Amino acid sequence: MLSDAIPSPRFIAPARTRAEPIQFQRVKVSVLGRYMLADRREFPCQILEMSPGDAVVVAPMSGVIGEKVIAYVDLIGRIEGTILAQIEGGFSMDIAASPRKRDKMAAQLTWLANKDLLNLPEDRRHERVVPDIRHSSVVLDDGRRYNCKIIDISLSGAAVELDVRPALGTAITLGRMRARVVRHFQNGVAVEFASAQEMLTVVQQNLRMN
């Protein structure tokens, strides 16, 4: 279970200053995302370790210590903070969040850390609903476009009625959302979004056809 680091009863911790970050227990994860530096340049990234208070990020551009960074992380959503240190191949960052968001993040990280061991189903991460916007389009990497119908959608993926069956793992664009095919069924495919969204309305807006 994730929790704040608690000192031994025999150890009296010194008073914490505002500049000292609260320490959290990191867990090993492997999730992809994108991040934006202060100059608004965006890059892909991978999170290797994360807690509700900080993260270790593999990134092509490290930024500078103290620089503000905003990231959208698969299955976690939007995080923001500042760069704490530059490491080989990336950087570490703190995460600014409310206590409520930290609690939610702790639950998400616990799920990520244990999903393989517990064989948790991928399609139960988020509640699935029937969206207001059901007609959209699927575009393959080679430019082929197909009309489709959204059966249901969650913050992490969707089930789509589609006339073709792209191979499992195929990268597609659903509306304006990057995704990959994770399952076939009789009338279509299930896809997983490349970046989990914090708000279902954002997902629905992005499903509008261009």
Of the segments 28-37, 101-110, 190-199, which one has the largest average pLDDT value? 28-37
- Residue 47 included in any domain: yes
| DSSP SS3 for 100 | helix
Note whether 36 and 107 are same-domain residues.
yes
Domain boundary residue, one of 52, 84, 117: 117
Average pLDDT score over residue span 188-201: 66
Report the alpha-carbon distance of residue 118 to residue 111 in Å, rounded.
9
pLDDT for the residue numbered 77: 84
Q: Taking a C-beta distance cutoff of 8 angstroms, is the pair 128, 153 a contact?
A: yes
Domain of residue 41: give its range: 27-117
Question: Minimal CA–CA distance to 97: which of 123, 115, 71?
Answer: 71
pLDDT for the residue numbered 128: 61
Number of domains the chain is built from: 2
pLDDT-derived band at 153, boundaries 50, 70, 90: confident
Q: With b meaning 16 or more CB within 10 Å and e meaning fewer, what string describes 168-186? A: eeeebbbbebebebeeeee
pLDDT 10s digits, 110-133: 777 766 554 444 444 555 667 677
- Residue 103 included in any domain: yes
Note whether 172 and 142 are same-domain residues.
yes
In this predicted structure, the answer to whether residue 14 has a pLDDT above a threshold of 80 is no
Note whether 130 and 94 are same-domain residues.
no
pLDDT 10s digits, 53-107: 999 999 999 889 999 999 988 878 889 999 999 998 899 999 999 988 888 888 7
Ranges of beta strands (E only) in the chain are: 27-36, 42-50, 54-58, 68-73, 77-87, 90-94, 135-140, 145-153, 157-161, 171-174, 177-185, 188-193
Report the alpha-carbon distance of residue 187 to residue 202 in Å, rounded.
26
- Residue 183 included in any domain: yes
Domain boundary residue, one of 71, 92, 117: 117
% residues pLDDT > 90 (the chain): 30
Note whether 105 and 140 are same-domain residues.
no
Q: Name which residue leads in pLDDT, 207 or 156.
A: 156
Strand partners, 184: 189
Note whether 31 and 113 are same-domain residues.
yes
Note whether 128 and 156 are same-domain residues.
yes
Domain boundary residue, one of 93, 117, 141: 117
- Residue 16 included in any domain: no
- Residue 4 included in any domain: no
**CATH value at residue 100:** 2.40.10.220
Note whether 53 and 93 are same-domain residues.
yes
The model's pTM is: 0.48
Report the alpha-carbon distance of residue 183 to residue 78 in Å, rounded.
26
